[in-house]
Amino acid sequence: MKFWLLLGACRRSTLLCQALLNPGDEVIMVTPNFFFDIPVELASGTPVFVPISYEDNFKHDAERFREKITNKTKMIVICSPHNPTGRVLTENELKEIAKLAKEHDLLIMHDEVYDGFTFDGRNISHYYRSKM
């Protein structure tokens, strides 16, 4: 498994999409989100949205991601703490999304740009970098 560490969410996302996506590749991401559909479209990819809502505590349910996977799916984008909701993904959510990506040989772009704004120590995503 390869791991890239790049700084700057906008620049990084654009560079990764330009380097890794082919025209027509699908990228699964939640909505609402900030910005992630733009670099996918600039790379001639297709954003595929998984709606999240206040009523469900903005949960990132891996099964809802699974429903969106096709033979054109190349990547899943996650952001924790999530922008714009501020929600920190749970250990189980991260584990299930990583498992799903591994099952389908998908890339994961994980944006942690807001990690510094998690003041109660709940952002556990660093633990899963090696597992993703």
pTM listed for this prediction = 0.81
Angle at 70 between CA 58 and CA 50, to 5 degrees: 15
| Tens digits of residue pLDDT in 54-97 | 998 888 999 999 999 999 999 999 888 777 777 888 889 988 99
- pLDDT of 127 reads 46
Tell me which of 1.20.1250.20, 1.20.1260.10, 3.30.1200.10, 3.40.640.10 is the CATH number of domain 9-131. 3.40.640.10
Q: Which residue has the tokens 């670099």?
A: 39
Q: Which residue has the higher pLDDT, 10 or 121?
A: 10
Q: In the chain, where are the structural domains located?
A: 9-131
DSSP at 56:
G
